[in-house]
Amino acid sequence: MAEGMHGFHVPWWLRHSHVQTVVPHLDRRRYDVVTEHVRHELSDGDFADVYWLGRTRKGPLFILLPGMQGTQDSTYIRSLLSELSRRGLRAAVLCHRGGAVPNRQAPFYHAGFTDHLAWLVGLIREQEPRTPLYGVGFSLGGSMLIRYLAETGHASQFSAAAAVSLTFSLASTARRACEGINQLYQLRVLGSYKRTARLKAHLPEFASRVDKLNGLRSIQEFDALFTAPLHGFKDTDDYYGRCSSRQFLSRIEVPFLVLNAEDDPLVARDTLPDTRELRAHVRLELTPHGGHLGFMYPRSSGLGYYPPARLVSFFLQEQCEAHESLSQDVVGHALLALEAGDARGGLDEHAGAARPAQ
């Protein structure tokens, strides 16, 4: 496991896991970033929505995968786009097939769906054979990214990748989503799934199921009715067993960072991988606090979001070690300011210590 820890800690009033999880959803900042929406038509008659940052520029490209029912407007996506834009870097947000926007066909997306990611990587490689690619997946998007890396091995085309708030066991997370306050998060995501499903009621596969939507009370019930049968799984046990991310970690061939919080309400401690399961180039970093896709901390200009600075620092370290050419003209003079902690660079006086998993 690579050495070198970066800082993150929060004051007492931001330490509750549910506060950390909820606060980003209340953040109304739009962040100063402009993306270009392109709907790409696919050979199977469906489409892929991609939001491009600096599409026509040169230099490294970051592919971002949102979490469950997440979009290009999710706080964690916008904040990372803002950081990449500030540093003159490029990105492509790959929206989930049939996520917030209904697609044309019955199948949509799931934790093990990698077809669209493979398509996007292929498209970029056709146009830019030598461009360094970096991937970031959030929550379920991290599961998709890890499976893709495991399936493709050395042919993944990625120079390095990372996952934030990764769930290691889909079955465990589905159970935890039904417990206590977690049910509120579940109902929010389930409501989004239901809205999209109703918009696809004209398709036979949905028409035969849509009358059962009102009775669904959990993501697992939705997976049993829609996700598993529409994607070739026998049932939810089969789906969760075949697509949970922990089993794929040992097959990743590129430098990989997993950034999770120890108090993530959706990730049970007993599902975290042991360090013996991780290869030398796969790093699991745990912060004491951060919730699920939270990682908020106070700074002079308001609440800050920790992952963008940590992710850019990780990718900078990996590209330096690989001797790739990220010139200061491309990256910007602020890249090295992460360690200095100056006003432009990243973390401020509230920074503390993250640690590797033991």
Task: Please write the tens of the pLDDT for every residue from 191-237.
Answer: 999 999 999 999 999 999 999 999 999 999 999 999 999 999 999 99
- Nearest one of 62, 34, 76, 144 to 316, comparing CA atoms: 62
Residue 207, number of CB atoms within 10 A of its CB = 11
pLDDT at 303: 83
Q: What is the pTM of this model?
A: 0.89
- pLDDT one-digit tens code per residue, 241-268: 999 999 999 999 999 999 999 999 999 9
pLDDT at 6: 52
Cα 276 from Cα 294, distance rounded (Å): 27
pLDDT at 20: 87
Cα 269 from Cα 144, distance rounded (Å): 21
- Which residues, given as ranges, of the chain have pLDDT below 50? 1-5, 325-353
- Going by their DSSP bridges, the two strands 36-41 and 61-65 should be labelled as unpaired
pLDDT at 288: 94
Print burial letters for 5-33: b (CB count within 10 Å at least 16), e (below 16).
Answer: ebbbbbeeebebbbebbbbbeebeeebeb
pLDDT at 275: 86
SS3 content of the chain, % helix, strand, coil (to 5): 40, 15, 45
pLDDT at 30: 61
pLDDT at 112: 97
> Per the structure block, which two tokens stand in for 141?
């998007």
Helix (H) / strand (E) element for 243: namely helix 236-243
